[in-house]
Structure 1
Amino acid sequence: MTTTSSFDYIRFQRWRRPFEIGFWVVVLLVNTVFNGMVTWFDVTYRSHRAQSIEPWIWEASSSVVILALLPFVVMASRRWPLRLDTWRQNLKIHIALSVPFCVVHVGLMIVLRLIAYRMILDWRYHFGDDWLRQLGYEYLKDIRTYFLFLATIGGYRLLVLRLQGEASLLAEPDEGPPVEPVDRPERFLVRKLGKEFLIAAREIEWLQASGNYVNLHVRGRDYPLRATMAGIEERLDPTRFVRVHRSYLVNLDYLAEMEPLDTGDARLTMRDGATLPCSRRFRTQLRERFGDVPVGA
């Protein structure tokens, strides 16, 4: 299978994590600057209710804490994705999670402001006389921020899946017999950038469970398939594919070496040089089927 695209996904994968971290840092930095300018204009320039440095302390402390909480929002979005089939149930979970998000945000924000006020202004920071009302005000802002993050993360994932290519099983035709066994597919359909491609099941080098997806690794690319590992294992050729870990299936045709570890587990080396884990539970079964593949010491 060959594909051509102006977007180099492999190169993007190398820089994906710095890009994602840098994106949120830049977004929160820009947000801090703009909010700081607006707050400074309102409470310092127009009403003279605060020192010039105070709005910047408020906005910077808030942004630093939100940036620290962002990984937890990312994990929550993976664990409870807002999709068409799950949004009713998972929406309730995210509404509930927005409460501790706000409480932690406000609590750590206050701590940072207390430290900044003491070090810079030699004052004691005062959050407000009516804590409950002030916390409610902060929650209205934080729940908006929380769901804005969820929307941004979800949109980004959809974009990446579209650029990367998403696999699916070939469906049984509406009329006539299927061209191949549906219960044990010989090919998978991959949609990418508005085009469709077929990949042969025998070309899949290994499979990895990832949340609600199973990633099919083919020639240096990962194609996510919406399925469970147990479900897809039943539909693959058992003489070619073998489970080596609760999260991994490997194609024996692409397995080069198995290296036993002191823990009882093993390290697998694929033909392309990639290394995969093999748990002790599956190590014995794999050795029995290893055939002529060289085994490490």
Structure 2
Amino acid sequence: MNEQADGGYRDFQRWRPSVEVAFWVALYTLNAVFNGLVARIDNARTAAWEPWVWESSSALLILLLIPFVKAVERRWPFRFDTWRRSLPWHLLASVAFSLVHVAGMVGLRKLAYGMVDQHYRFGAWWPNFGYEYLKDIRSYFVIVAMICLSRLWLLRQRGEAKLLAAPDDGPPVEPVERPERFLVRKLGKEFLVAAREIEWLQAAGNYVNLRVRGRDYPLRSTMAAIETRLDPARFLRVHRGYFVNLDYLAEIEPLDTGDARLHLRDGAKIPCSRRYRAALRERYGQPAAVE
């Protein structure tokens, strides 16, 4: 493992929110400048300041709407295996995006024009909104595409795991149905992680995060699919979204709700729902409590 590169990635994670804001601001500032120059050329008879008001008001509203697009994409991830289910929701969200964008930029333009004792005319709402929506749906999906690309890049930097496939010729070196190792790719390098070193697993959409020595490695799988691959003598499901390696379990903290909180050796705390708590007690030779 390249520790210098890994350290650089950790540093980037600390600065990630600021970097993301700076990226979007720079992108739409440049877009507003270029569009403003084109609009100034196309509308030479207008006052010199008007094209800049048009473009800056549009860019500002889009910047304010980016958190909304990110929230929609988190709720309905736009990926190769989910885009068909997610597309209708994103199309609906693009209409809301456009309505807020158009209403907001028209309001800002009216305000700017009013400051110089002029009146801004948007024209008839319906045909003009249709024209604006054609532009806004493109902007909406450009933002979604940028979000997806950044996620793929971060997954590559953070590291991705996959199951070892059976070789083309000869018997597999280990049971493929219940692998003893996972192949991890990180920062352009590949290495093996022993299954026994996985401290816990967490569901994350279409991925399952493998927690290994303080790092998360997303495995493209579902919890139901990975459950059949785990050694039941070592791993136990403790929550709808969590498996824990019992070798790393340090403490079970009962909660008043009937659930529990699991403390692991690395200091992590994992929820244990009432549904799975009985199996955990029985694993350690304690009879399940009578409700």
Q: TM-score normalised to the size of structure 1?
A: 0.81
The CA deviation string for residues 6-46 of structure 1, in whole angstroms up to 9 with x for no partner, is: 35223333333333233223323343444445545654xx3
CA contact (8 A) 2:5 2:187 kept: no
CA distance in structure 1 between the aligned counterparts of 2:284 and 2:24, rounded to whole angstroms: 46
CA distance in structure 2 between the aligned counterparts of 1:260 and 1:121, rounded to whole angstroms: 67
Residue 193 of structure 2 aligns to a residue in which SS?
strand
The alpha carbon displacement at 1:142 in A equals 1.2
Q: Which residue of 133, 158, 173 maps to 1:164?
A: 158
Cα separation, partners in 2 of 1:274 and 1:10, compared to 1, 3 Å: farther
The alpha carbon displacement at 1:204 in A equals 0.7
CA distance in structure 1 between the aligned counterparts of 2:284 and 2:120, rounded to whole angstroms: 67
Q: Which residue of 272, 281, 284 maps to 1:278?
A: 272
Partner of 2:25: 25
Partner of 2:102: 106
Residue 276 of structure 1 aligns to a residue in which SS?
strand
Using the TM superposition, name which of 173-182 and 209-218 deviates more.
173-182
State the AA in 2 paired with 1:132.
W
Residue 243 of structure 1 aligns to a residue in which SS?
strand
CA contact (8 A) 1:244 1:283 kept: yes
Using the TM superposition, name which of 146-155 and 179-188 deviates more.
146-155
Instruction: Determine what percentage of the aligned residue pairs are the same residue.
Output: 62
Partner of 1:185: 179
State the AA in 2 paired with 1:127.
F
Q: Which residue of 100, 121, 138 maps to 1:126?
A: 121
The yes-or-no answer on 1:65 pairing with 2:61 is: yes
Flag structure 2 segments of 5+ consecutive residues without an equivalent: 287-291
CA contact (8 A) 2:208 2:223 kept: yes
Cα separation, partners in 2 of 1:256 and 1:121, compared to 1, 3 Å: farther
CA contact (8 A) 1:82 1:91 kept: no
Partner of 2:78: 81
CA contact (8 A) 1:9 1:163 kept: yes
Residue 183 of structure 2 aligns to a residue in which SS?
strand
Residue 188 of structure 1 aligns to a residue in which SS?
strand
Cα separation, partners in 2 of 1:112 and 1:233, compared to 1, 3 Å: farther
Cα separation, partners in 2 of 1:286 and 1:88, compared to 1, 3 Å: closer
The yes-or-no answer on 1:6 pairing with 2:9 is: no
CA contact (8 A) 1:242 1:251 kept: yes
RMSD (Å), alpha carbons? 2.9
CA distance in structure 1 between the aligned counterparts of 2:60 and 2:139, rounded to whole angstroms: 14
The CA deviation string for residues 83-105 of structure 1, in whole angstroms up to 9 with x for no partner, is: 2x555675566455433332232
The alpha carbon displacement at 1:216 in A equals 0.8
Cα separation, partners in 2 of 1:269 and 1:102, compared to 1, 3 Å: same
CA contact (8 A) 1:205 1:218 kept: yes
